[in-house]
Amino acid sequence: MSAVHLLYSLAFALALLLSAPWWLLQMLRAQKYRAGLSERLGRVPARLARAAAGSRTVWVHAVSVGEVLAVSRLVEELRREFDAVYVSTTTATGQKLARERFGEHCVFYFPLDLGFAVRAYLRAIGPQLVVLAETEFWPNFLRRAKKSGAKVAVVNARISDRSLPGYRRHGWFIRPVLQNVDLFLAQTEEDAGRLRAIGAPQGRVHVGGNLKYDVRAPEAPGIEALRRAVKELPREHVIVAGSTVEGEEELVLEAFREVRARHPRALLVLAPRHPERFPRVTTLLEQSDLPWIRRSDRPQRLGGGVLLLDSIGELAAVYAIAAIAFVGGSLAPRGGHNILEPAQHGAAVLTGPHNENFRDLVADFERAEAVRIVSAEALGATILALIADSAAREALGRNAKAAFAAKSGATERTREALRALLRPQPGVADESDATAEARA
């Protein structure tokens, strides 16, 4: 173990110890902090199908809902080539969606970055390939995965404006960690340059594209019922505000009041980003002067007002009923959220000015006249203008759908790169003994 990893392991263990009272309090307060605790501590769940001796296996890690959606097609492709593909997540919402998508028998909570917890899963799964979505640089996990004999790849990688200064500031620490990754597939050339700048080995960094361009929203079980519920409304009056965060719902509701003053039958589907905020948004709606109903109430018919989308994993499909879609996390300074989900359905896409986490994607859409960036003050007026101007609204949606289609292909490029990574290299000794570290 290097000095850097030893220092990290001691600091991580100490941080867990000192923060234990806080975590215990949170576990008493909220179920999400208790979810998967034993799995996070290295107890391999009985439901997890153990890898047969000699089988070819892959471990894919996707932090939360967004990453699970991004890798969903890649997981399907890998399942055609490997005996077993296991998927881990960090969040409870990601875990729920992953189990629905891939089956409980192969999905589990990502272990804490402690040697014994990581080792338990490496022994149980014995992966030949470990794939991490976006930027999950856990030092102990990467070191032990590499020493187990697995090839390690980071796919759909991006370095946000917010995280870049921290990585640069701690380059002395992050560089040795990144040496354990065999392949980085960045979303864009800028992301690739940033990876190299923070210490990723030059020859291991390539551009694979954004996997989210290849994700097609599945039909959610209740989407047909929702379509029937809104069928009597003019489509241009159906607005979806997705992935809203703290401080944004008030702004969106204020804009919607402007819309309802002109169009009383207008419907706003409001989808908060984090499920734990559903009660807070419910209180906000109760205190408002707007008619509203919960999605969980399974309304049979919807008129004007607000539908609170208090469900998980439905938003991508619900965008299909929208004429106009606002993507949140962008009026508040949170870096924005994924505009591709409404774009693939041909909705007229709006987003706020804070899109640092999706800078290149939004810039591409701007150049294609496929998205409009609006301030909180202009949101209501912009929606009203798009309702009134069907040609402008339909052109914006059409351009969004075309921009989405033009960027596809990242899944195939990623699959080919992973194949090449596992291909034996002439003159290079075989390092596939997956038991070396497990016995250490």
Catalytic site residues? 67
**87 pairs with which residues across the strands?**
60, 107
Selected from 3.50.40.10, 3.40.50.11720, 3.90.730.10, 3.30.70.420, the CATH number assigned to the domain covering 3-8+31-210+409-422 reads 3.40.50.11720
Domains 3-8+31-210+409-422 and 223-406 share a fold: yes
**267 pairs with which residues across the strands?**
238, 305
- Give the model's pLDDT for residue 314: 87
The one-character DSSP state at 210 is -
Strand 305-308: give its sheet, edge to edge: 292-294, 305-308, 267-272, 238-244, 324-327, 348-351, 372-373
**Distance of alpha carbon 401 from alpha carbon 219, whole angstroms:** 18
Domain boundaries, the chain: 3-8+31-210+409-422, 223-406
Q: Is residue 437's pLDDT more than 50?
A: no
Radius of gyration over alpha carbons of the chain, in Å? 23
**Distance of alpha carbon 152 from alpha carbon 168, whole angstroms:** 22
Q: Which residue has the higher pLDDT, 65 or 29?
A: 65
Whether 357 and 304 have beta carbons less than 8 Å apart is answered as no
Measured CA to CA in angstroms, residue 12 lies from 138, 175, 368, 391, 400 at distances of: 11, 18, 46, 56, 44
Lowest-confidence range among 6-15, 255-264, 358-367, 410-419? 6-15
Nearest-5° Cα angle at 321, 187 to 95: 50
Lowest-confidence range among 6-10, 52-56, 358-362, 413-417? 6-10
The one-character DSSP state at 340 is H
Measured CA to CA in angstroms, residue 277 lies from 31, 173, 205 at distances of: 14, 35, 38
- Give the model's pLDDT for residue 439: 36
The one-character DSSP state at 199 is T
pTM assigned to the model? 0.75
List, for residues 266-308, the tens digit of each pLDDT value. Answer: 999 999 999 889 999 999 999 999 999 999 998 989 988 999 9
**Distance of alpha carbon 229 from alpha carbon 301, whole angstroms:** 4
CATH topology of domain 223-406: Rossmann fold (3.40.50)
Average pLDDT rounded to a whole number, residues 74-81: 96
List, for residues 180-220, the tens digit of each pLDDT value. Answer: 999 999 999 999 999 999 999 999 999 999 998 888 776 66
